């Protein structure tokens, strides 16, 4: 006999309906009280990449004002390793109570699930978007000693000498690699990929003349460009970037339709109560809209995506399909 049937036997049909109604109202009131009490302790923000990287910088920018807005400390938890997979899994496996949120990116939510076929989780199913922070494009720059001064000249050189020009990346299958793989495919050129363990050593070898070029996130590429140690040829954004107004887009300079923009955003494990989820979404949205925050993110090369959480989920799904196609067509495998 079910609990419902037992209640009917003890109370009778009419009393049963009243009991169940009161029970439901009690549960709803308890849920409402829990949501009103949230948060009653610190909130953990899992960052799947090391300190000083773009994801970490963004998280720390947002963490302080978010702490003030929530009335509880937001603790940054750098769970690094495996190209962001370890941190993503830590967030996915966390208790869905609103006390663990996650800084996700194109690498964690679009590329990794397409590059690694044996992941024990799926970000699209196991994480729910809270807010899109913004998108950041990349800039293709070359060593100063390379006798190429424009993007069209680079393409002409690559076509004339296939397999001669070299480009670095922050790792096999990473965003910088895929941006160049897409360029090779769309421009019908062939260059040599040299993977590194991060952007810093790749940049060092461009400066030393060991490799010819790097497609670097604008955030980390700007200091080298401003110092004059490298020569920027094109950006991967759909429009020229405000920080590099004299640098053309790849689309306008020879590869129509080309675009490669990385995104960052905040997520929570699936299953967070609706009222708490709404609190997180509303609070993060207010923090991201603060003028000082908008300015700080813009200084990092970030541009707003202006997406609702639902629109962000759709944006990620499209982005994932696109890079999945690039990965498969280029035959890219993780190392």
Total Cβ atoms within 10 A of residue 270: 11
178-222 confidence digits (pLDDT tens): 999 999 999 999 999 999 988 889 999 999 999 999 999 998 899
222-272 confidence digits (pLDDT tens): 999 999 999 999 999 999 999 899 999 999 999 999 999 999 999 999 999
Confidence at residue 220, expressed as pLDDT on a 0 to 100 scale: 84
Confidence at residue 216, expressed as pLDDT on a 0 to 100 scale: 93
- How many CA atoms are closer than 13 Å to the CA of 228, on its beta-carbon side? 0
| Mean pLDDT (whole number) for 151-167 | 98
Confidence at residue 32, expressed as pLDDT on a 0 to 100 scale: 52
The H or E element that residue 329 is part of is helix 309-330
Q: How far apart are CA 37 and CA 143, in angstroms?
A: 56
Using an 8 Å Cβ cutoff, are 312 and 304 in contact? no
Longest alpha-carbon distance in the chain:
90
Q: How far apart are CA 173 and CA 48, in angstroms?
A: 17
CATH number of this structure's domain 43-136+262-330, picked from the four choices 3.40.190.150, 3.40.50.1980, 3.90.1150.10, 1.20.1250.20: 3.40.190.150
CB-based contacts of 187, cutoff 8 Å, min separation 6? 155, 158, 254, 255, 258
Confidence at residue 168, expressed as pLDDT on a 0 to 100 scale: 97
Residue of higher predicted confidence among 170 and 77? 77
Residues paired with residue 44 on neighbouring β-strands, in sequence order = 75, 100
CATH number of this structure's domain 137-235, picked from the four choices 1.10.3260.10, 3.40.50.1220, 3.40.190.10, 3.40.50.10490: 3.40.190.10
3-state secondary structure 135-202: EEEEEEEEECCCCCCCHHHHHHHHHHCCCCCEEEECCCCCHHHHHHHHHHHHHCCCCEEEECCCHHHH
Using an 8 Å Cβ cutoff, are 203 and 194 in contact? no
Q: Where are the domains of the chain?
A: 43-136+262-330, 137-235
Q: Of 14-28, 40-54, 81-95, 250-264, where does mean pLDDT reach its minimum?
A: 14-28
Using an 8 Å Cβ cutoff, are 104 and 264 in contact? yes
Confidence at residue 158, expressed as pLDDT on a 0 to 100 scale: 98
Indicate if 137-235 has the same CATH topology as 43-136+262-330: yes
């Amino acid at each position: 006999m079910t609990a419902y049937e037992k209640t009917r036997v003890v109370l009778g049909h009419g009393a049963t309906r009243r009991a169940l109604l009161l029970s439901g109202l009690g549960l709803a009131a308890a849920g409402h009280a829990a949501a009103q009490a949230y948060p009653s302790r610190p909130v953990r923000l899992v960052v799947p990449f090391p300190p000083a990287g773009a994801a970490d910088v963004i998280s720390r920018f947002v963490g302080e004002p978010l702490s003030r807005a929530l009335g509880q400390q937001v603790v940054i938890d750098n769970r690094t390793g495996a190209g962001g997979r370890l941190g993503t899994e830590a967030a996915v496996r966390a208790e869905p109570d609103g006390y663990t949120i996650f800084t996700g990116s194109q690498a964690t939510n679009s590329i990794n699930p397409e590059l690694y076929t044996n992941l024990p989780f799926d970000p699209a199913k196991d994480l729910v978007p809270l807010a899109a922070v913004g998108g950041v494009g990349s800039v293709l720059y070359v060593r100063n000693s390379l006798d190429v001064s424009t993007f069209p000249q680079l393409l002409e050189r690559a076509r004339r000498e296939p397999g001669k020009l070299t480009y670095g990346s922050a790792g096999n299958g990473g965003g910088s690699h895929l941006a160049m793989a897409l360029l090779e495919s769309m421009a019908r050129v062939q260059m040599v990929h040299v993977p590194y363990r991060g952007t810093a050593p790749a940049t060092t070898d461009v400066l030393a003349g060991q490799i010819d070029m790097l497609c670097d996130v604008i955030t980390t590429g700007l200091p080298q460009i401003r110092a004059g140690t490298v020569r920027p040829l094109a950006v991967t954004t759909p429009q020229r970037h405000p920080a590099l107004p004299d640098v053309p887009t790849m689309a306008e300079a020879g590869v129509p339709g080309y675009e490669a923009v990385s995104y960052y955003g905040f997520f929570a494990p699936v299953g967070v109560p609706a009222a708490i989820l709404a609190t997180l979404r509303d609070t993060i949205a207010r923090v991201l809209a603060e003028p000082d925050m908008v300015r700080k993110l813009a200084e990092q090369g970030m541009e707003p995506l202006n997406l609702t959480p639902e629109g962000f989920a759709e944006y990620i799904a499209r982005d994932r399909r696109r890079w999945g196609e690039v990965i498969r067509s280029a035959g890219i495998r993780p190392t």
